[in-house]
Structure 1
């Protein structure tokens, strides 16, 4: 396991963050102000008080005690947006690190992101992670609850309905939506299209009544709806259902007048995520973009270039051509086009990918100024936040980026980020650069374990730790399935699984040790895990851990004791497939009880009284 950042370095970072956030009033003087409306940039002063811009003009007075920033020769722009990210996916082969993902955006001048990588249970702890005193620096995070259909895209990764809620009818959607809205998401993301680009077999698609029901309930709650929509017919259905934005480009056919009319009528916007579909074998990086990548990202790019490159597949060539042509058609039609990258998928890096997306618009018919408007005011409008951010004017949120150049004239200058403010707070870019470049993982808040995990004292379907158990499985649309029933006898939970069609089918019942799980659990006071279990089958207990690749998590097989007697599994019995991995009992996240068996078979287990036991 990679060593965590030292306490000394972290304290230094925290103190710097405190100092930065203590500054309330700032005057940025003499910068070229590109206000995000599309108007030409003008040399002006901008005064920030708290989290708001309070004045924009010439020769503004410097209030007593205010910070003064010399903007001469630089351009001040509104903070950029990325309306399609997966923050918990690093985009290269390394475990999740939210601190590095957040840093990547701020270093690139991106101050607002939509995140599609969390379950509802994760939203509150991630918000706490950045809002708490001395919390992590981050852009404004707009979290989505995900909705899909069984066998559809978004459900095939084995994460379960815990992660992507599922409905196949309008009635089912109306049942699921109150559950989704209870988490107070900022947006609802719906996986509409099952087309897999001609590369893989298609998955199931959502029907229009189900999508319309989701949109109706979301809009009543004041939540925008965006869709994974990649086909022309799927886009027409989404626009007819009144979604707020399509957050992928259409890649199977050129847009037509019918779609344009539907999008105009419903005010549906378009976010193409071009950088997620750009053929990576052809990809080149400017010096400015390369400098923004962290060492792990650069290492991946060097490795990709060292491989013998195969010709780009015909379906990729066709899709890429169609996607670029569709940008031009939709721009000509006046459809709002925002910025989203799909960062987190392989090779689409957090922060730099948003700027790369802006650059692509400038190559496809947008002037640099128009591309900046798309990344600022238009993206804010798409998420119904244009009254709060996206432009530079009195009363607007002070999300600002000072650029050492003229990005409204030369888009490459966007890489020259000099200063960033989020809600009026000056971001410590030098510290975040060190964090992003560090080989160690960002420390997470720790919850010390007391012993009980799943006992008869729990209620409301949650654990003794007030966490929600969830099911995960092997990957694929034909993955294994499981149900968990609280049995009346002995306070046990009955787990019943049907194995899927993979070569190694399995299903897991997961007991998070922290909410989400996001934060980490410290079980270092204990010697192992104690439980009661009944059943006959193949069982493993997997220790989900922070800063370890999921394939390297420590695990131990176990056999239930006779008549459900107490069983103890010492931590010393847990092993990893990675001989270099080390089990750190202060970095646990969840206990995963895994049932496995033959393809198409069934396996069951009764489980209860799960707790850590002391030496």
Structure 2
């Protein structure tokens, strides 16, 4: 019997970076430092920042080389690429999460790719998906198969039976198609962590409370116990250590999550002064997902139980998150998209400002602090020499009007590691004056 040797087709390589120079820009570098009004940003062929600072001190521009880009920002603002620490790219809307069983899985892959691209083009160059996104999407971005934010994914959401991630109907049918990872004892929790790690999870998400969108519980209901959450942390430590994000809305569950050793509290709607102090003592981040409070309430499209809980908690949330901002808790940006529309992620910054953050602090929450939460602060989150050139160029001055970042059309250029992913600047005046297409 004859055999035919086959050579495997190599995976697509990520797009190469090219030298890039942006001048006539206002620079907000993500560190919290004062903006530089006449700034130059230089990116090397390796996709890292070579210089970011005043034009007067910038290295001389070399003669044009093949593939080199020179962009006149025309007074626009250049910032680090933003990081959304709480998304659900695997579904389009909250109601769709409970109807995944009816979707064509092949079509859904393409729809997810569209959502990833819209998120990237809105200025989010890195994202953390907290349930519903298989690890293969992360690999597809890494290997250049599709465009999207650099991804960390929890894959599924750990909950107890009847908890926030248990979408089962009385008949036992799960319309979410397994977004939840159910565990009811410390031993089951260990096994669940191992299954999620086997599935490629970058972190583990646990439900420390009930929630708004879950049919069987309330935000004040407690989820996994302190012992169970501690078991998650311990099991991860046995496998090299990975972060733990806690869905935690009611006060008791927030305290359980912090005492259990989580890395971040997601939502935090019931944050009290005690909880803020404990989070500060233990270095726990808070990701308040304010977009779900300001933008995510629509009686026409929401289940009645979901709408009722949202309305009841809206004012409480605004008061408590305002207190958390004032107390100095480490806050990282996260939106909970798909609970709110994908591709409008930077609305979250305006919501943070409305509750007491300065525009600069809100930008830092979406860049430097978010990178610290994801453990990526050595490579992204600020525009400093040696870091990856993840960047956004937007119209106007977001320190004067943070809402300019809320409109994706005003985000004119987005780059990841020096590779331009979006460029709507026009020739003649401000714009791209050389090099290959983006």
What's the TM-score bracket when you normalise by the shorter of the two chains? 0.7 to 0.9
- Alignment-derived partner of residue 126 in structure 1: 137
8 A contact 1:246–1:269 mirrored in 2: yes
- Indicate whether 1:217 and 2:231 are aligned: no
Aligned with 1:349 (options 334, 338, 341): 341
Listed as ranges, the matches of 1:509-588 within 5 Å are none
Give the RMSD, CA atoms, in angstroms: 3.0
**C-alpha separation in 2, matches of 1:429 and 1:160:** 37
Listed as ranges, the matches of 1:46-195 within 5 Å are 46-49=41-44, 50-57=46-53, 58=55, 59-63=58-62, 64-65=64-65, 66-91=68-93, 96=108, 97-118=111-132, 122-123=134-135, 125-133=136-144, 135-145=145-155, 146-157=157-168, 158=174, 163-195=179-211
TM-score under structure 1 length normalisation = 0.57
Q: More displaced, 141-150 or 223-232?
A: 141-150
Q: Please state whether the residue corresponding to 1:247 is helix, strand or coil.
A: strand
Closer, same or farther: CA 328–163 of 1 in aligned 2, 3 Å: closer
Question: What CA deviation, in whole Å up to 9, does each residue of 1:227-274 have, x standing for no partner?
Answer: 1111011000111112111111324xx512x21222112211111112
Listed as ranges, the matches of 1:211-610 within 5 Å are 211-220=229-238, 221-251=240-270, 255-256=272-273, 258-278=274-294, 316-345=310-339, 348-352=340-344, 354-414=345-405, 415=407, 416-429=410-423
- Alignment-derived partner of residue 535 in structure 1: none
**C-alpha separation in 1, matches of 2:22 and 2:235:** 43
**C-alpha separation in 1, matches of 2:139 and 2:308:** 46
Closer, same or farther: CA 51–240 of 1 in aligned 2, 3 Å: same
| TM-aligned CA deviation for residue 147 of structure 1 | 1.7
| TM-aligned CA deviation for residue 23 of structure 1 | 4.2
Matched positions, count: 379
**C-alpha separation in 2, matches of 1:79 and 1:161:** 33
Structure 2's unaligned 5+ residue stretches are: 1-11, 97-102, 169-173, 425-438
Larger Rg: 1
In proportion to residue count, which structure has more strand? 1
| TM-aligned CA deviation for residue 48 of structure 1 | 1.1
| TM-aligned CA deviation for residue 279 of structure 1 | 6.4
- Alignment-derived partner of residue 486 in structure 1: none
**C-alpha separation in 1, matches of 2:140 and 2:166:** 27
**C-alpha separation in 2, matches of 1:427 and 1:214:** 37
Closer, same or farther: CA 92–149 of 1 in aligned 2, 3 Å: closer
8 A contact 1:107–1:429 mirrored in 2: no
8 A contact 2:415–2:422 mirrored in 1: no
**C-alpha separation in 2, matches of 1:401 and 1:208:** 40
**C-alpha separation in 1, matches of 2:159 and 2:177:** 9
8 A contact 1:271–1:338 mirrored in 2: yes
Closer, same or farther: CA 115–314 of 1 in aligned 2, 3 Å: closer
- Alignment-derived partner of residue 435 in structure 2: none
8 A contact 2:244–2:262 mirrored in 1: yes
Closer, same or farther: CA 137–171 of 1 in aligned 2, 3 Å: same
Closer, same or farther: CA 127–392 of 1 in aligned 2, 3 Å: same
Question: What CA deviation, in whole Å up to 9, does each residue of 1:70-113 have, x standing for no partner?
Answer: 12301110111111111111128886311210121122111111
Q: Please state whether the residue corresponding to 2:267 is helix, strand or coil.
A: coil
8 A contact 1:149–1:204 mirrored in 2: no
8 A contact 1:377–1:386 mirrored in 2: yes
Q: Please state whether the residue corresponding to 1:427 is helix, strand or coil.
A: strand
**C-alpha separation in 2, matches of 1:90 and 1:313:** 18
Structure 1's unaligned 5+ residue stretches are: 1-16, 284-302, 431-615
**C-alpha separation in 2, matches of 1:62 and 1:419:** 21
| TM-aligned CA deviation for residue 197 of structure 1 | 8.3
**C-alpha separation in 2, matches of 1:41 and 1:219:** 40
Q: Relative contact order: is structure 1 or structure 2 higher (C-alpha 8 Å, sep ≥ 6)?
A: 2
8 A contact 1:153–1:204 mirrored in 2: no
Q: More displaced, 156-165 or 139-148?
A: 156-165
8 A contact 2:294–2:351 mirrored in 1: no
Q: Please state whether the residue corresponding to 2:367 is helix, strand or coil.
A: helix
| TM-aligned CA deviation for residue 153 of structure 1 | 1.1
**C-alpha separation in 1, matches of 2:25 and 2:229:** 46
| TM-aligned CA deviation for residue 45 of structure 1 | 1.3
Q: Please state whether the residue corresponding to 1:21 is helix, strand or coil.
A: coil
| TM-aligned CA deviation for residue 380 of structure 1 | 1.0
